[in-house]
Amino acid sequence: MTTPIIEVKTLSLWYGKFQALKDVTIDVEINRITALIGPSGCGKSTFLRTLNRMNDLIEGVRITGTVLFQGRAIYAKGTDLLDLRQNVGMVFQRPNPFPISVADNVTYGLRVHGITDRTVRDERLQRSLEAVHLWSELKDGLNRNALALSSEQQQRLCIARLIAVEPEVLLMDEPCSALDPIATARIEELMAELKKLYTIVIVTHNMQQAARVSDTTGYFLLGELIEVGPTPQVFTAPRDSRTEDYITGRFG
Partner 1 sequence: MTRLERNDRLIRLGLLMIAFSAVSILIVITLFIFSEGTPIMFKYGPGRFLFGLDWYPSEKAFGLLPMIVGSFFVTAGALLVGVPMGLACAIVLTQFASKRVGRILKPVIELLAGIPSVVYGFIGIVVIVPLIRENLGGPGLSVLAASLVLGVMILPTVISISIDAFQAVPPTYREGSIALGATVWQTIRMVMFPAARSGIVAAVILGMGRAIGETMAVIMIAGNAAAIPGSPLAPVRTLTSNIALEMGYASGEHREALFATGVILFVIIMALNILANWTSARRKR
94 binds ligand ATP (CB under 6 A): no
Distance CA 85, CA 64 (A): 20
The pattern of x and - marking residues 54 through 93 that bind ligand ATP according to CB under 6 A reads ----x-----------------------------------
Pick the binder of Mg ion from 24, 34, 35, 45 (CB under 5 A).
45
Residue 26, φ and ψ in degrees, nearest 5? -160, 145
Q: How many CB atoms lie within 10 A of CB 81?
A: 12
| Range in contact with partner 1 (rule: CB under 8 A) among 34-42, 49-57, 202-210, 217-225 | 49-57
Q: Is 227 helix (H, G, I), strand (E, B) or coil?
A: strand
What minimum distance in Å lies between the beta carbon of 42 and partner 1?
21
119 binds ligand ATP (CB under 6 A): no
46 binds ligand ATP (CB under 6 A): yes
Please give the torsion angle defined by the CA atoms of residues 106, 112, 168 and 83, in that order, rounded to the nearest 10 degrees: -170
* Contacting residues for 19 by C-beta, under 8 A, at least 6 apart: 12, 13, 223
| Range in contact with Mg ion (rule: CB under 5 A) among 38-46, 52-60, 150-158, 244-252 | 38-46
Pick the binder of partner 1 from 32, 44, 156, 161 (CB under 8 A).
161
Distance CA 51, CA 34 (A): 13
What minimum distance in Å lies between the beta carbon of 160 and partner 1?
12
Closest CA to 239 of 249, 224, 228, 248: 228
Pick the binder of partner 1 from 12, 27, 31, 85 (CB under 8 A).
85
20 binds ligand ATP (CB under 6 A): yes
* Chain residues 2-21 in contact with partner 1, contact rule CB under 8 A: none
* Contacting residues for 172 by C-beta, under 8 A, at least 6 apart: 90, 91, 191, 200, 201, 202, 203
In DSSP terms, 101 is beta-bridged to 145
Helices 102-112 and 151-163: crossing angle in degrees, nearest 10, is: 30
Distance CA 203, CA 225 (A): 13
* Chain residues 65-84 in contact with partner 1, contact rule CB under 8 A: 81-84
In this structure, are residues 102 and 157 in contact, taking their beta carbons and an 8 Å threshold?
yes
Q: How many CB atoms lie within 10 A of CB 247?
A: 19
Pick the binder of partner 1 from 59, 182, 249, 252 (CB under 8 A).
59
Binding residue count for ligand ATP, defined by CB under 6 A:
13
Binding site for Mg ion (CB under 5 A): 45
Binding site for ligand ATP (CB under 6 A): 15, 18, 20, 38, 40-46, 58, 205
Binding site for partner 1 (CB under 8 A): 52, 54, 57, 59, 81-86, 89-90, 92, 94, 96-100, 108-109, 111-113, 158, 161-162, 165
